[in-house]
Each structure stands twice: as structure tokens, then as C-alpha cells.
Amino acid sequence: MGTFRLHFSILIILACIQGTEIYSQSLSPTEIIRKAEDKFNGEKSSMMVMSMTIVRPTWQRTVDFKSWSLDRDFSLTLITAPAKDAGQTFLKRMTEMWNWNPSINRLIKLPPSMMSQGWMGSDYTNDDILRESSAVNDYTHNVTAEETIDGRECYRILMKAKEDASVVWGHQVRWIDKKEFLVLRAELYDEDGVLVRTETGTDIKIMDGRTIQTRIELIPVDEPGNKTVVTIKEIRFNIPIEDSFFSQQNMKNVR
């Protein structure tokens, strides 16, 4: 009886694995990108606690922050450390983006020209942090190969910016884990096809019931010795939150 149960369990496991492979293969490239995006954003909403270490050849500094998001249209980020930056917030509502700086008691609307500038002095841009562009809607997607990264089988997906999309990157290449839909590596190119930066996702852990990469390292190609490392300390998905939370008034009160 014990042997039968063992064999039966193995058959169940194999069936589950085969089912996962068939399911993954039936997904379109765009659906794969969407599932990878949902890993961090949640299908509806999310809240994250993170730290970001900015590394330069002669110095480094760390910025701590919280971030809330709802769908693709709303996000609010609160800086919690260091002390000189604490209380500063960034808000996105639909196509409008704002920055509140309590040290100068000033609310600023960010123009489109600032989207490509470094966020908080890092290698990430304002567009990256505030998610103005959409990896799902602003690009076309094609699976160009299947490769292995860190022992995980991945889809290699080419993302080309649509002609009418207002995005920073001309195209991207992402390596997405077949099983967990994790972005393990990404290459981002400008409009001339020149590689600008690479990103890697490591330290894979289970947080709030799902497997995610908790360390993301960004390296700019043309700036040796520079990098930005983001570490996820806490994440909660599909939290109860209304669009009224993402207001200019709440930028001054959120904690």
C-alpha cells in the first residue's frame, strides 16, 4: 500500500508539472509579460517597502521608501529615509505626476521632459519609478529564444516600442522564468538600438504567498562603477485601497 501511494504521488506531481508546461506554452508573449508585471504590481493593487542603494565609484547612499499602487493608473511613493529626504512623496494619477517636498513646502508637477531623469539620484528614471510607460501596452512582444539563467528555464522576449508610444526605450529584451514568470534579466536599448543598461533579479523568496525576486540590480553600461540595487523588504498584493488614496492632499499626510 505504501508503494502504491508513493507511485500515485509521483504521477500526480508529473501531471502537475506537465500541466504547468502546457499552460506556459499556450500563453502569448504579451500574456507572459503581463504575468511578469503582475508579480510585483498585483492583479489589482500592491504595497511595497523597499530600500535602494545607489553605488558610485567613490561613494554610496541608501534611500528607504514605501510604495502603493492601484491598477496601472495610480501610484504613491513615500521616502522614509534618510532624514533629509524623509516625507518627500511622488504621486501618479493617470497621466499626471507630482512631487511633494516638505522641506521647501512645495508641490511640483513633473513635466514629461523630467521622466528620463534619475529618480532620487539613482540610475532609475522617474518613468521607471512612477510606471508611466506600460510594458504590456506600449510594446509589441515576441519570444525569440528559450534560454537558461541561474538554472531556470526562461523565455527570451523582445519588446519593441510601438510607434505611438511615449516611452524612453526603443526596445527591451527580457528573460522571464517559465515557471514563476520572474524577470531574471533585462536589457534596455535606446531609440538607436544602443544598449543603455542591464538589470538582474535575484534572491528569490516567497512573500505574501507568491515567489518573487527580492533584489534587483541595475547597471548602466556606459558608467563603469555605477549601479543601483533595490531590495524588497515587504510586499502585500491586492490590498483594499481606493483611488481617493492617491490624492495631492494625501501626499502630505501619508505615512
Predicted confidence (pLDDT) per residue in 68-89, tens digit:
999 878 999 999 999 999 999 9
> How many other C-beta atoms are found inside a 10 Å radius of the C-beta of residue 241?
17
Instruction: Examine residue 124 and state whether it is found in any structural domain, yes or no.
Output: yes
**Residue predicted with more confidence, 111 or 158:** 158
pLDDT at 232: 96
Checking if the pLDDT of 7 tops 70, the result is: no
pLDDT band at 129 (very low <50, low <70, confident <90, very high): low
Least confident of 10-19, 83-92, 128-137: 10-19
pLDDT at 130: 60
Checking if the pLDDT of 227 tops 50, the result is: yes
pLDDT at 132: 57
Distance CA 57, CA 225 (A): 5
pLDDT tens digits for range 207-223: 999 999 999 999 999 99
Instruction: Examine residue 1 and state whether it is found in any structural domain, yes or no.
Output: no
pLDDT at 184: 97
Mean pLDDT of 34-45: 82
- Sign of the CA dihedral running 159, 153, 131, 187: negative
Mean pLDDT, rounded, of the chain: 87
Instruction: Examine residue 32 and state whether it is found in any structural domain, yes or no.
Output: yes
pLDDT band at 94 (very low <50, low <70, confident <90, very high): confident
Mean pLDDT of 127-154: 87
Domain span at residue 238 reads: 6-251
Q: How many domains does the chain have?
A: 1
Instruction: Examine residue 109 and state whether it is found in any structural domain, yes or no.
Output: yes
CA 160 to chain centre: 18
pLDDT tens digits for range 13-26: 333 333 444 444 58
Reading the block at residue 133, the C-alpha cell is: 510607460
Q: Check which CATH number belongs to the domain holding 193 and give it.
A: 2.50.20.10
SS3 31: helix
pLDDT at 11: 32
Mean pLDDT of 29-51: 88
Mean pLDDT of 161-181: 92
The answer to whether the beta carbons of residues 203 and 212 sit under 8 Å apart is no
**Residue predicted with more confidence, 97 or 218:** 218
